[in-house]
Amino acid sequence: MTTLDREETRATDGAREGGQARPLSLKVAAPMAIVAGLALLGAFPPYGLWPLAPVGVALLAAATHRRRLRAGAGLGFLTGVALFAPLLEWTNLHTGYLPWVLLSLLQAGYLALLGAATAWVTPLVQRHRWAWPVVTGLLWVGQEALRDRTPFGGFPWGRLAFSQDSSPLLPLAALGGAPLVTFAVALAGGLLVALGWRDWRHQAGQWRPVAGLLAALAVVLGAGSAVPVGVRGGGDRVTVAIVQGNVPRLGLDFNAQRQAVLNNHVDATLTLAAQVAAGAQRRPDLVVWPENSSDIDPLRNPGAGDRISQAADAIGAPILVGAVLLGPGVGQVRNAGLLWRPGSGADLDQLYTKRHPVPFAEYVPLRSIARKISAEVDRVRSDFVAGTSPGVLDPGPAVLGDVICFEVAYDGIVRDTVTGGAQLLVVQTNNATFDVAEARQQLAMVRLRAVEHGRSALMASTVGVSGFVTPDGRVDGATGFNTAAVVVRQMQLGDGRAVATRVGVWPELALAALAVAALAGAAVLRRRREDVPG
C-alpha cells in the first residue's frame, strides 16, 4: 500500500465517522481563513461584536482540518494577518509602517503555529469527535500562553478573552482569569465547527448529535451567568477623581510639550479644587493623573515639583502622578507612578516603577542589531529601567494596585498587586501616540481585570478613554478621546480574593499541559497509521 493509498483509506475512514472525507478545497479554505481573521477582529473594540470570536475560531478550525502541517500553518498565518494588521494599526500612526508590519507579522506567526497544531491533531479529533471542541479550546490557550511570554516578555494584545468585555462569558474570569475565558470562547468555536462539519446529505439520525452539540453550546455560553461576580470583601467607599488633562497635539512629539501637558493636569486639578470649594463637587480622597502627566522629573526639577504641590495643596488630597524619573544610571529613566501628598510633596516610599517596559518603544533590546533593520530605534534615546516590585501603593484612603499602560494585558503583573493587598486597581496610561481604538481595547482589558479579581478599577489616560469600572465589569463615567475631562466617582473597596486570584497561573498551566498532551496523542495516532503494513 502506497502513502497515497493510505491517505485515501484514512479519508474514507473519516467519512464513515460522519463528516467530510477530505480537507476543504484551498479555494474555499484560504478565503475562509481570511474571513476567520476578520471575524476575530470584529469581536474586539471598537466593533465589540463578541459572538464573532467563536465564529472566527470555528472558521480557522474548519480551514485547517485534515491539512498537511505546512498548509495548516499557511492558513493560520492568513488568519493572523487578517486579525493583527488592522487590530494593531494604531502602532503605525506616528512611528511609520515598519514597526506595525513587523509586529503584525510576528503575532500572525503564532496563529501560523496554531494552524499547524490544528492540522496536526486531525487524527485525534476524527477518532474522538466529542474531543474536537475541547482540543480546539486547549490549543488556543496554549498558543496564547506562548505568545504572551515570547519574545522579550511577549505581547498579549488580541487574546480572545479581551474581546469578551460585554459577553456573558466575561464572569468566567472570576474563576480562571483570561485563560479560562479564552478557553470558553474557543470551546464554543469548536462546538460550532463540530456542528457544521457534517455530511448533511444524510439526514437519518442527524438530530441527536446536532441537538447534543447545540445543548453543549448553550451550556458554555450560559455558564458565565452562574458565576457570582462583584466586589470581594470590604465594603468601604472612597471618592476618586480622574484627571485627563489632554495634550496640545497627538503624536510622538507630545514629549516635546512636556510643560504644557503638566500644566494641563495641574490646571484641571485646580479647577476641580475650585468646584469643591464652591460646593459644586465632592472632595476626592484621591486624585489620579495618567502616565506621562509629568515627563519633567519633579524630583529633580523644582518648577515641576512646585506645580504638582500647588495642585495637591489646592485639592487637599494625595495625587498619583504618572512621572518619568531620571536614573538610576546614566542614560536611564523610569516610568513611574509617584504619590504626591498635600503639604509634604513626593512620598518616595509610595513609588511604583513600571515592571514591563515595552521593547522597541521604551527600551531597545539588541540595539546594534535592531539599528541595522531601522534607524528609527534610535528615537528611543534612553532605555527605561524595569521595576522589581509590584505596584502596591498606600496613599491612606485605600491600598492601590497600580499598573502602567500595556501592563494591564499581563496576568501576573495585575495579580501581584491584588495578592499584595490592593483594594482598588488603577491603570495609568498615555494614549496620545495611538488612537481611540487602542484606548477602547485597553479599557476592555481593565473590565476583565475588575471581574477577575473582584476589584473596582479605573483607567486614567492623558487623552482618553478614561473611566471607572465596577467589579462586575460595568463602565461608568467613560470620557471622550482627545479631550480634557475630570470625572469624580465613589468606588467600593475590596479586600477578599476571587477564585482566579487564589489559583493564579494554575488554570493556564493545566490547560496548556493538556494541549501538549493532545499534540502528543495525535502524534501516537499518526505513528500508528504510518506503521500500517502496506
Tell me which residues are annotated as active site.
Answer: 291, 354, 405
Q: How far is CA 184 from CA 117, 198, 265, 288, in A?
A: 19, 23, 42, 35
Sign of CA pseudo-dihedral 128, 132, 134, 135: positive
Q: How far is CA 476 from CA 167, 319, 448, 479, in A?
A: 17, 21, 15, 9
- The candidate with the shortest Cα–Cα distance to 439, out of 470, 461, 409, is 461
Parallel, antiparallel, or unpaired for β 332-341 and 345-353? antiparallel
Contact 127, 408 (CB under 8 A): no
State the SS3 of 375-436: HHHHHCCCEECCCCCCCEECCCCCCEEEEEHHHHHCHHHHHHHHHCCCCEEEEEECCCCCCH
Q: Can you tell me the distance from the alpha carbon of 126 to that of 134, in angstroms, rounded to the nearest whole number? A: 13
Contact 289, 312 (CB under 8 A): no
- The candidate with the shortest Cα–Cα distance to 467, out of 206, 290, 307, is 290
Q: Can you tell me the distance from the alpha carbon of 252 to that of 430, in angstroms, rounded to the nearest whole number? A: 11
Report whether the peptide linkage leading into residue 248 is cis, meaning its omega lies within 30 degrees of zero: no
Amino acid in the structure at residue 248: P
CB atoms within 10 A of CB 435: 18
